């Protein structure tokens, strides 16, 4: 097996029959197309299970797809047949969208061997690799969820980071949304960004063919964004999904002391007691 956060389609094809491997189809429709249908019922990688980000979440929160409590997550993983000690490969229908979020969720809940499929299902299908439409049959397994609280930032953590400057805040949204020049796709949110935040649109980390940038390309992208890889970083975005793409890239680069703001702009931009900055300075 591999320790790298990413695995190739060839690697997955070579290991697909491994008894300790489980494949997850991470699903969340884009906020701009909330009614988009999941591909999974009609086509998925053989043996893959379906992880709906909008269902395996904290249903008591008014914010979108917040992390569930550990015992709720354990129950959901058990029903999917995901257990302790397994090697997990996560992919999504778009290449890089919700798969890194599920990767981060599993890692934050204590899973150790979790990877993202580079290029996702589009690359898998483009290479004429096998896919099926029948539901998988997996035996329920025991998953011991142990939340790493340091991996998750909340509203007060962001306020502290802004006031102290001890942590870099890195926003994955587009430069137009970050600057406040474009409207937010979620209704009722203010335009702009958190004071002191830096901006690195997640799209800059993905090649035109849908594969992830190389380590060297990633390092250059973070350098352009003004990120110091030796200092703590908290990632954020619209609702805590594409922020995980930045966290994935930072992990590949060996950065430490990483957190993800789960509420992200869905929380910060909806409140009357949060400070908003605009422009690019």
Same domain, 136 and 179: no
- Which of the residues are catalytic? 237
Alpha helix (H) residue ranges in the chain: 9-15, 70-80, 99-108, 120-126, 155-164, 175-179, 215-224, 243-252, 264-268
Tell me if 268 sits within 8 A of 194, measured CB to CB: yes
Q: How many H-runs (helices) and E-runs (strands) does the chain carry?
A: 9, 10
Q: What is the pLDDT of residue 7?
A: 98
Give the per-residue pLDDT at 281.
Answer: 62
- Structure token digits, residue 171: 């926003």
Structure tokens at 136: 């998988």
Render the burial of 200-223: b for 16+ CB within 10 Å, e for the rest. bbbebbbeeebbbbeeeebbebbe
Alpha carbons 69 and 157: distance in angstroms, whole number: 19
Q: Which long-range contacts (CB under 8 A, 24 or more apart) does 104-108 make?
A: 104/151, 104/244, 104/247, 104/248, 104/260, 105/56, 105/67, 105/73, 107/148, 107/151, 108/67, 108/147, 108/148, 108/151, 108/152
Same domain flag for 122 and 194? no
Which residue has tokens 């904290």?
A: 58
* Same domain flag for 55 and 140: yes
Could you tell me the CATH number of the domain that includes residue 137? 3.40.250.10
How many degrees, rounded to 5, is the angle at CA 156 between CA 73 and CA 184?
A: 80
Let me know whether 217 and 251 are in one domain: yes
* 192 within some domain: yes
Q: How far is it, in rounded angstroms, from Cα 39 to Cα 37?
A: 6
136 and 202 together in one domain:
no
Torsion of CA 67, 73, 79, 82, to 10 degrees: 100
On whether both 134 and 192 belong to a single domain, the answer is no
Residue 26 in 3-state DSSP?
strand
Residue 275 in any domain: the answer is: no
The number of folded domains in the chain is 2
Last residue of a domain, one of 99, 122, 147: 147
**Token pair listed for 193:** 């960004």
Last residue of a domain, one of 147, 182, 204: 147
Could you list the residue range(s) of the whole structural domain that residue 259 is in?
A: 150-268
> 105 and 56, same structural domain?
yes
Tell me the torsion sign for CA atoms 280, 189, 240, 70: positive
β-bridge partners, 233? 168, 258
pLDDT in tens, the chain (281 residues): 578 999 999 999 999 999 999 999 999 998 888 888 999 999 999 999 999 999 999 999 999 999 999 999 999 999 999 999 999 999 999 999 999 999 999 999 999 999 999 999 999 999 999 999 998 888 899 999 999 999 999 999 999 999 999 999 999 999 999 999 999 999 999 999 999 999 999 999 999 999 999 999 999 999 999 999 999 999 999 999 999 999 999 999 999 999 999 999 999 999 999 999 998 76
């Amino acid at each position: 097996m591999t320790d790298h956060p990413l695995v190739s389609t060839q690697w997955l094809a070579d290991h697909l029959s491994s008894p300790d491997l489980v494949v997850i189809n991470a699903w969340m429709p884009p906020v701009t197309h909330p009614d988009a249908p999941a591909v999974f019922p009609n086509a998925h990688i053989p043996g893959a299970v379906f992880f709906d980000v909008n269902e395996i979440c904290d249903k008591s929160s008014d914010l979108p797809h917040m992390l569930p409590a550990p015992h709720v997550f354990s129950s959901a993983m058990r029903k999917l047949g995901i257990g302790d000690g397994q090697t997990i490969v996560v992919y999504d229908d778009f290449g890089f969208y919700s798969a890194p979020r599920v990767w981060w969720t599993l890692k934050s809940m204590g899973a150790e061997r979790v990877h993202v499929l580079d290029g996702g299902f589009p690359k898998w299908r483009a290479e004429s690799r096998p896919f099926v439409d029948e539901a998988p049959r997996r035996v329920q397994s025991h998953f011991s969820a142990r939340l790493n609280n340091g991996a998750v930032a909340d509203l007060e953590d962001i306020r502290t980071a802004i006031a102290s400057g001890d942590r870099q805040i890195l926003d994955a949204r587009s430069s137009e949304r970050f600057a406040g020049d474009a409207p937010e796709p979620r209704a009722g949110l203010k335009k702009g960004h958190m004071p002191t935040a830096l901006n690195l649109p997640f799209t800059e980390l993905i090649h035109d063919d849908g594969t992830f940038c190389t380590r060297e390309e990633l390092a250059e992208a973070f350098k352009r964004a003004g990120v110091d890889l030796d200092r703590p970083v908290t990632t954020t975005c619209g609702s805590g999904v594409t922020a995980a793409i930045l966290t994935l890239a930072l992990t590949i680069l060996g950065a430490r002391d990483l957190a993800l703001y789960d509420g992200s702009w869905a929380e910060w931009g909806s409140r009357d007691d949060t400070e908003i900055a605009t422009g690019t300075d």
